[in-house]
Amino acid sequence: MTQLVAGIFVASTVVTLMHWLRVHDRRLLPLMGFFLMMAAAESLEWWHYWRSAFQVLGAACGLALLPMLDRRQRPRDPERALSPQS
């Protein structure tokens, strides 16, 4: 079962990488890191030290993703933000 879950995480990493290559959205990088760390963690036995380390790194990637998903829209161009909407 663990190999199946690891395979799902590897497939998710590959799909995310292919999507990132197409759109170059920086929010996909921590998501890809999360999938990669979880795949590495699932490939190890439950008692292995590195399994816990990979899970902690996966959680860190997830936490790094949170500020990037902020719903407030920040203007990219300051001049466009100051100009009146027509």
Number of domain units in the chain: 1
User: Is 82 a domain residue?
Assistant: no
Instruction: Answer yes or no: is 58 within a domain.
Output: yes
Percent of the chain with pLDDT over 70: 83
**15-28 confidence digits (pLDDT tens):** 999 999 999 999 99
**Pick the residue with more confidence: 1 or 56?**
56
75 part of a folded domain: no
Would you say residue 74 lies in a domain?
no
- Token pair listed for 10: 């590897």
State residue 69's pLDDT score: 84
Residue 35 lies in a domain: yes
Rounded CA-CA distance 34/29 in Å is: 9
H or E element: which one contains 2?
helix 2-23
Q: What pLDDT, on the 0 to 100 scale, is given for residue 68?
A: 86
Q: Is residue 61, in this structure, part of any structural domain at all?
A: yes
* Residue 53 belongs to a domain: yes
Triad 74, 79, 82: Cα angle to 5°: 75
Give Rg (Cα) of the chain: 18
77 within a domain of the structure (yes/no) = no
pTM for the model: 0.77
pLDDT digits (tens, 9 = 90+) for 50-79: 999 999 999 999 999 988 887 776 666 656
What is the extent of the structural domain holding 14? 2-69
Give the mean pLDDT of 40-44: 92
